[in-house]
Amino acid sequence: MRAEAMTETPMPLWEVFIRNRSGMPHKHCGSVHAADATMALQAARDVYTRRGESVSIWVIPSHAITASDPGDKDLLFEPTASKPYRHPTFYTVPDEVGHM
């Protein structure tokens, strides 16, 4: 039997990503608490796909995500504000191309 910790230790947090349609990327939609990956998938299915939103689910331990520091906002993101030429708005995309 496992350690006597299951009821006392808070269950780990998992980030949930769902894909709405084939061909589209998985998108972050929220998080769930669960004891392990299998249970996290089930919880994600029950909490986030109740209205037929999904064709695929990913769950990732929240602690596995390395996030940028909000304090670095200016340093990381501000410089791009003055570089409009990076936006692909100077091209016309034919309708036939669909999602890009």
CB neighbours (10 Å) of residue 68?
A: 10
For the segment 44-63, give every residue that binds another protein (CB under 8 A). 46-47, 50
At residue 32, what are phi and psi to the nearest 5 degrees? Answer: -140, 155
Q: Which of 64, 62, 45, 65 is nearest to 54 (CA)?
A: 45
Stretch of 37-45, 52-60, 64-72, 80-88 lying at the interface with another protein (CB under 8 A): 37-45
Q: Smaller CB distance to another protein: residue 46 or 78? A: 46
Stretch of 17-25, 41-49, 68-76, 80-88 lying at the interface with another protein (CB under 8 A): 41-49
**Tokens coding 30:** 């929220």
Q: Which of 51, 54, 63 is nearest to 28 (CA)?
A: 54
Stretch of 3-11, 20-28, 63-71, 73-81 lying at the interface with another protein (CB under 8 A): 3-11
List alpha helices for 14-56, DSSP H. Answer: 37-48
Q: Applying CB under 8 A, which residues contact another protein?
A: 1-2, 4-7, 11, 32-36, 38-39, 42-43, 46-47, 50
